[in-house]
Amino acid sequence: MSIAPVQERQADAADVADPAVPWITLVWNDPVNLMSYVTYVFQTYFNYPRAKAEKLMMDVHTLGKAVVAHGTREEMERDAMAMQGYGLWATFEKDS
């Protein structure tokens, strides 16, 4: 298994509201990961703009978790694996 290049991620960001791909990747708050680092990871891996990356990071920090990606199960497994590769506390599940 390998991580898709960043360029391929841009299309996925548009899938966010597509009910046909009802799986999500979550990142959970932990006391170790830095706000700066988490923002950098969201920008770098998902290619999210700074504002969106910071919003998701703040959701993780203040709400305890954030949905960072939507897609097929396979895509969410890949994203969860990538987030764990970065040391973030990531899980994936079927969207409810």
Give the integer Cα–Cα distance in Å for 79 and 45: 9
SS3 content of the chain, % helix, strand, coil (to 5): 55, 20, 25
Segment holding 94, helix H or strand E: strand 89-94
> Residue 21 or residue 92: which is nearer to other proteins going by CB?
92
Count of beta carbons in the 10 Å neighbourhood of residue 25: 25
> Residue 13 or residue 86: which is nearer to other proteins going by CB?
86
User: Minimum distance from CB of 79 to other proteins (Å)?
Assistant: 10
> Residue 56 or residue 80: which is nearer to other proteins going by CB?
80
User: Minimum distance from CB of 86 to other proteins (Å)?
Assistant: 6
What single DSSP character describes residue 14? G
- Residues found near other proteins in the complex (CB under 8 A): 1, 29-37, 39-40, 43-44, 54, 58, 77, 80-81, 84-87, 89-93
User: Minimum distance from CB of 29 to other proteins (Å)?
Assistant: 8
